[in-house]
Structure 1
């Protein structure tokens, strides 16, 4: 057995010691450091004994344990356990245990009156390389969170906090920011980018009982922090807007120029192959001419004023333009048929005229022979 100095138990019970002090002094007890300079404590060798939350009342106890016996995670065969039993019945709350081994510091609780402890949980500890792990004893980044595929790795916000309910319909009730710092000599702690989850009143005016949430992305040009402005937003309905907060109900809205190597538009409505069906009513050229004179644009095509105020739908506009091309094709086919019929009629007429001219030539030739014959008879 080893002797250590112990701080009076009533200091733990009254809450005069912080968790940090408790951890430091607990480590001191196990490393024979005189932390408090008061009464002595014995570390009990109970390595193969399984204890329950009911085993201690109104005291602090230190034990040398076999790690497998207490089902502790971590490393090494043995571990040191500190048990804090703040009271003698359930009115004092739970009993607590701290467990120190080569894998880290762990804790668990047990409700007074229960025969079993809760599962061990590892305290978040900074590794020698500065990394912090949650759910892992070997963090590979400054913050390494190990979570299963079915659980949340991070939750941001406080449940059951409505924020500012007294806002107009469609106004923000609050939100949560994740900020990324950049550098400028006059403002070293400048925020260069931000991801913001923003809540919106979607219930009624000045009564935000129902709230939706958008995800907004901010960046800064680096001049100063006031240049941190929103550049993109994903709305609660799944609409994406770039350069504007309002997608106007469209799934993708861009306020500015856009370039792409390829854009595919897949329409849900019918492609205008119906123009070539027998029951399609083709507007006559006379009617089209009349519409152009009255309206100043083709039938079925938006006017310049409409395009300026409402824009154009690329898919619908391409469909309308194809419809006009197909109608022009029908006009050309009609004109070709008419021209072909006229050419056939003209060719038939020409053939008839040629035949008539041939007969007339024959008549002339016969007349010439008769005249010649009469002339010989006279002379």
Structure 2
């Protein structure tokens, strides 16, 4: 190979310190430029390279003023290791920031590239922020285990992947769940909240905090399940408590096919919007604007208001007020602990049932607490003359309330009225019997006189 020695004026300063040659082949199929570093004389007993020896430096300088030449950037190669027949070296790229020359990037003998660090551990090891305007292909590396619960203000304008212990981060977990997990920290900056995602055995958890805070105060919340979100068609999902080891969504008791809703049943009656397959307890008010049909017992702990008709095939038990605007059809028993009114504007004071209209029944049974008037037959027969005097003075029978008294009392008591009427019937019966005896005696006397 035709070679020639090219003295470089730019490297004159380096020649004062090192004995070296720069060789170049300026033309041909394989042009070359190389620096040859050796210690002491080249031919007479040369000394081998030592670790850290500079193999060569390329410098870029510029005239900044008359008589002033400044260094802008360099590429240096340092010996990493050398032995007979073997040489490894680094290549360091440096730039001038205006005040000093700063090392920016290194390529190690193993091909590791470091930006912002001279000790890279990966093929590309970047210390500092990184911006990519195009696509990113390949794997994202997780840092090795970090046991610290790093504060939000330690993450700045970055997305950071780490391996963490959920016990250190206070992520909720049931017994038996693996303590290890991956953490993605998102710190957008600019006053935005920092977010962390913890990827654990039981799903994905999230927490957030203001970017400048020195600790995480927001609690962890589970985001996704440990499996596919599957369930029975038309069944509403059932959410498990946060301390459950599995976050899968299961079936609830509510069925909804978009037309009919069923609670406790997957076959709601097509004639009704809501079908409940079991006991139902309502602790608040219930308002029904149309008909209410109950096939079994109905128990209401509070007020019940029905604007339409009501049909009960079972037992109705209402602990508080009941307001029915339509018809009430009860096939079973009904128990009312309070007063009841039908068609009346007010409840009658002292009465359990107030009816503002007529009542029709095949039979009405009144059980009086007072004695039935059989005592009439144990007493003397009333004097019809004294009754006449009383009637002429009071305009009503003795022992029977007057019209004014009935009006003042707001009506008559059916049971008491029947008792009084029966008493008068029995008294009148005794009077008739007495009169019949007198008639029979007069007839006998008249028959005797004629003879």
TM-score, length basis structure 1: 0.45
> Which protein has the bigger helix share?
1
TM-score, length basis structure 2: 0.39
**Bigger relative contact order, structure 1 or 2 (CA pairs below 8 A, ≥6 apart):** 1
> Which protein has the bigger strand share?
2
Larger Rg: 2
